[in-house]
Homo-oligomer: A and B are copies of this chain.
């Protein structure tokens, strides 16, 4: 076979650690690997930096933004998801989400600029909104972000300011359902909530965000509506699959759900098109019981391996079994020494879960050099409680705030 890898970016991004870039613990390159370096030794693979805008399914051609077309025998679409504002795209400038390196450095800029701004203001009332951090959505990303900001405020930034006390920052985690980490067992959700509170995070469940403006979030709760003034609002609530999902659905009649994901055949192909595979966050694949598979890295990795084997078997004229997801578990970390995990049916929490989280995440980084650099920084940050990658970049004018690049 000849393989062509098309990507808008020239690197693979390990998204599970993106929140550590957003909170100044790691550098972007530590969780990224240049695609060409990864595929350097694979002579039958070529990489092209390209933006796919459409697929001509009957003509078996991928259409690029520059107008050119690329013919294929087999197509694997794995373009993932972006964050999504439930019909309120106007919220994005006020509440960035976390999916790309640029998102992470923008969030990092906002978090650290908020403390800098508060330091320059004369009194607590004027500082208050800059010392308030609202995170919308208490899934794994929201919980990890809130925990990391809590540790920043309580530990990393200690003794760093003269006019404010960073430990007095208000960190508010909003969740629409009745508990944090909704896909986790209720017991682990409760433990995670206690760990968050210990790190200074205020958790509001059954909280529905009805409006986000620059420096203000409107929240509807069972006991009433409240407007929270906050300079830093982070979005960790909804995701929407890449537009290619809808395009493929329309071309083949495949069902597309509200989140833009394409419903797949048991072998991860499109109905009537055994040559087109959809995997990862773009695919609405289901397990044997009909439950959608979780939108996490292990799902995508297993699907990738399955598709590669399927194509290889088909070329050899062999039959292929349907895709079967091996549930190895889920885990989320809430800072230093604490994580919750459900692995192989076991529920663990605390230091042991945190060690497991560290090992799994180091192991899944693609490049050995990145493992070395991430381990060095984790070890150093653990000893010193410092986070040295807290750079405010992409702006030269701190007084004209906030401003996007």
Residues in A lying within 8 Å of B, measured CB to CB: 8-11, 27-30, 32-34, 36-37, 40-41, 46-51, 64-66, 100-102, 105, 112-113, 116-117, 119-120, 157, 159-163, 367, 369-370, 372-373, 376-377, 380, 384, 386, 388-394, 396-399, 405
Contacts and interface: CB of A to CB of B under 8 A. Distances in A.
A405 B394 contact: yes
- Copies of this chain, complex-wide, total 2
Contacts of A49: 113, 116-117, 119-120, 392, 398
Contacts of A394: 102, 394, 405
A388 B370 contact: yes
Contacts of A405: 394, 405
B33 A399 contact: no
A101 B393 contact: yes
Top 8 closest pairs, chain A to chain B, by CB: A27-B27, A29-B389, A36-B160, A49-B116, A46-B162, A65-B399, A27-B29, A10-B392
Contact of A388 (B369, B389, B393): B369
B10 A390 contact: yes
B32 A391 contact: yes
A64 B398 CA distance: 11
A141 to B, nearest CB: 20
Contacts of A372: 376, 380
Contacts of A28: 27, 391, 393
